[in-house]
A and B are shown apart, each in its own frame.
Chain A
Amino acid sequence: MTIRVGVADWRVTDDDSLLVTSGLGSCVAVAVYDPDVDVGGLLHAMLPEADGPVENPAKYVDSGLDEMLSAMVRLGAAPENLSAKLAGGSTMLDLSVGDSVGARNVAAAERALADADIELLATETGGESGRSVSFSPTSGDVTIDRVDAEVHVI
């Protein structure tokens, strides 16, 4: 089954479902999986770090990742077996507001994964174009699609 992940949202699965999310501009998609038990999760976060408790943790990279990892452990993932891949964080527009959100999102994701001792296997970040991402937790493949570009797998 294909499971859609919205913006400021995460979903986890323990079967052969594909987790997909689209419309990544400066947002980041963080794919995490435990290959031993085929448990995986995909987070689509909009902003780098939460400033204290928030209504929707998935809006932020750090609190969203915390929440998603807890859900993966409940499905049987072992924290010491987790690996991650990261996509998104583009700088499509040169706006005077929201200084470098894309780059800060990528940095926040790298920092949060390092803090959780999760190995970051591959990244496809930055640039000036948007992305759609699909993630297969059973293979670990993250497939990245762009307008006017060839599909790329990391």
Chain B
Amino acid sequence: MRVDLDAVASFSRTGDEGGQRAADSLETLTGIPATCELTRTTLVDADGLASFLGTSSERITVAFDGALAGRAVLSFDEAFADHVADELGVGAEAALPEVANILTSGFVDAWAADDEDTIEIQPPERVGDEQQVVQDAAIVDDCAFVFESRVVLSGTRGTCRFAVLPDVDSFGSYVTEADTEFSLADLAAHIRVASVSADAVSSHLEAMTGVDATLVESHVDFVPVERVPSLLGDAAYEGAIFESEGVVDSVIAILFDEADPGAVAALLLDDPDAGSEMAESAVAELGNITASGFLDEWANALETTIDISTPSHVRDAGAAVLDTVAAAYGERADTIAVVNATIELGPDVTCRVCTFPSPDDADQLGDIAAGLADDASDDIPDFDDLDDAGEEP
């Protein structure tokens, strides 16, 4: 299976330009400097789409149609909503639809820019029916496509999360016009890499710690390298970084967001007074077992092996860790794939796994995705066979 990463990168770039135009439009409306911190083209497991989109009391959807059709779902946190309402001198009830309108207009302009066609947007509506938003999403082979931008305003820590869910037929036409070789189904198969990896991470964490592990969500991002640090933000994480070598070279970050420092080590060590060296070693070992667990799944898909390096222990801001990985790849590619999983380990620890396959190995990653998708289809009973089996000779 071959998915041209350059083609995906071009959508990510268009999405990024759209996110920046949206931020510029908002800055013009409010007079407050606005920045687009993150834009990503994301493949989300259809079952996890609602979790991925998150919940917020302030959500607005804006439908659009034309050169690209679909809908934007805008989620405002309280700080952002209050700030724009104050700045515009009206209540949130009036301000947020106006902001949603401006952001969506700015975003779709980027997608219509190279097309003689135009994109018309509909009046904003408050999200009332959660399921309807998910049902309308573009889903191919259980994989949903989402373009997400996060816009921040200076002077507040608030964020607007701006997710665009294209209509599947419209998006399919759009991408094949841009690149006749491009296959949405081949791209969609990459979601198997994320879901298989997340399941493996979850089961290995549970086995190692004896604590219930809950898979929150898994997805694959295609991100411009300079947006990668924003995937984690400024919170401090403790964890381990590995490199893998084999059919796919990659950098793997297994990072724990602890409610209390030392919470992960406490799950592994009997002695609460064990030294910091022992605690670091325990966290690295947990990361090692976890990373090996899902890399084995990747290797098995191609009947090969993938080796893993000794870990580097980190305790630092998540964004700074990812910044270092992104810069390392930044001289080789403008856009990179990131395989993500979020797992809750008991009430006090959240594990974030970000795997960065080398952009030089995009074809091999596609082969792994195809192999895992084949394995999954082997698990599904073939209804024709069942029917045949049920017939008397």
Which residue of the partner chain, among A11, A22, A56, A98, contacts B327 with CB atoms under 8 Å? A98
Binary flags per residue of B361-390, CB closer than 8 Å to A gives 1, else 0: 000000000000000000000000000000
Kindly state whether residue B225 has any CB partner on chain A within 8 Å.
Answer: yes
Q: Are B323 and A23 in contact (CB under 8 A)?
A: yes
Q: Are B251 and A97 in contact (CB under 8 A)?
A: yes
Kindly state whether residue B120 has any CB partner on chain A within 8 Å.
Answer: no
Which residue of the partner chain, among A2, A6, A22, contacts B317 with CB atoms under 8 Å? A22
Q: Are B315 and A148 in contact (CB under 8 A)?
A: yes
**Interface size counted on chain A using CB atoms at 8 A:** 39
Kindly state whether residue B140 has any CB partner on chain A within 8 Å.
Answer: no
Q: How far is the CB of A10 from chain B (nearest CB, A)?
A: 11
Kindly state whether residue A136 has any CB partner on chain B within 8 Å.
Answer: no
**For B230, what are the chain A residues with a Cβ–Cβ distance below 8 Å?**
6-7, 23
Question: With A and B bound together, what is the CA distance between A131 and B236 in angstroms?
Answer: 11
| A–B pairs, 27, beta carbons within 8 Å | A3-B33, A4-B33, A7-B227, A7-B229, A8-B226, A22-B319, A23-B317, A23-B318, A25-B316, A25-B321, A25-B322, A25-B324, A47-B331, A92-B314, A92-B316, A93-B241, A95-B325, A96-B243, A97-B243, A97-B328, A98-B328, A101-B331, A102-B327, A105-B327, A130-B319, A132-B317, A147-B316
Q: How far is the CB of B341 from chain A (nearest CB, A)?
A: 20
**For A130, what are the chain B residues with a Cβ–Cβ distance below 8 Å?**
316-317, 319-321, 323-324
Question: With A and B bound together, what is the CA distance between A52 and B231 in angstroms?
Answer: 29
Kindly state whether residue A59 has any CB partner on chain B within 8 Å.
Answer: yes
Q: With A4-B152, A47-B330, A130-B316 in contact, do A90 and B324 touch (Cβ < 8 Å)?
A: yes
Q: Are A46 and B234 in contact (CB under 8 A)?
A: no
Most chain B CB within 10 A, of A55, A97, A105, is at A97
| B binding-site residues for A, Cβ under 8 Å | 13, 33, 35-37, 152, 154-155, 225-227, 229-230, 233-234, 236, 241, 243, 249, 251, 312, 314-332, 334, 358
**For B316, what are the chain A residues with a Cβ–Cβ distance below 8 Å?**
25, 92, 129-130, 147
* Residues of chain A in range 85-107 having any CB-CB distance to chain B below 8 Å: 90, 92-98, 101-102, 105
Most chain B CB within 10 A, of A23, A95, A96, is at A23
Which residue of the partner chain, among A2, A22, A27, contacts B154 with CB atoms under 8 Å? A2
Binary flags per residue of A32-58, CB closer than 8 Å to B gives 1, else 0: 000000000000001100000001100
**For A47, what are the chain B residues with a Cβ–Cβ distance below 8 Å?**
327, 330-331
| A binding-site residues for B, Cβ under 8 Å | 1-9, 11, 17, 22-27, 46-47, 55-56, 59, 90, 92-98, 101-102, 105, 129-132, 147-148
Compute the total of residue contacts between A and B using a CB distance below 8 Å.
134
Q: Are B331 and A4 in contact (CB under 8 A)?
A: no
Most chain B CB within 10 A, of A7, A9, A148, is at A7
Question: With A and B bound together, what is the CA distance between A102 and B330 in angstroms?
Answer: 12
Question: With A and B bound together, what is the CA distance between A147 and B317 in angstroms?
Answer: 7
**For B327, what are the chain A residues with a Cβ–Cβ distance below 8 Å?**
25-27, 46-47, 98, 101-102, 105
Q: Are B241 and A46 in contact (CB under 8 A)?
A: no
Which residue of the partner chain, among B152, B249, B320, contacts A92 with CB atoms under 8 Å? B320
Listed from nearest, the 3 A-B pairs whose CB atoms lie closest are A130-B320, A98-B328, A23-B319
Identity of the chain A residue whose Cβ is nearest the Cβ of B328 in the assembled complex? A98
**For B36, what are the chain A residues with a Cβ–Cβ distance below 8 Å?**
6
Q: How far is the CB of A92 from chain B (nearest CB, A)?
A: 5
**For A25, what are the chain B residues with a Cβ–Cβ distance below 8 Å?**
229, 316, 319-324, 327
**For A129, what are the chain B residues with a Cβ–Cβ distance below 8 Å?**
316, 320
**For B332, what are the chain A residues with a Cβ–Cβ distance below 8 Å?**
97
Q: Are B331 and A3 in contact (CB under 8 A)?
A: no
**For B317, what are the chain A residues with a Cβ–Cβ distance below 8 Å?**
22-23, 130, 132, 147
Identity of the chain B residue whose Cβ is nearest the Cβ of A3 in the assembled complex? B154
**For B155, what are the chain A residues with a Cβ–Cβ distance below 8 Å?**
1-2
Q: How far is the CB of B317 from chain A (nearest CB, A)?
A: 5
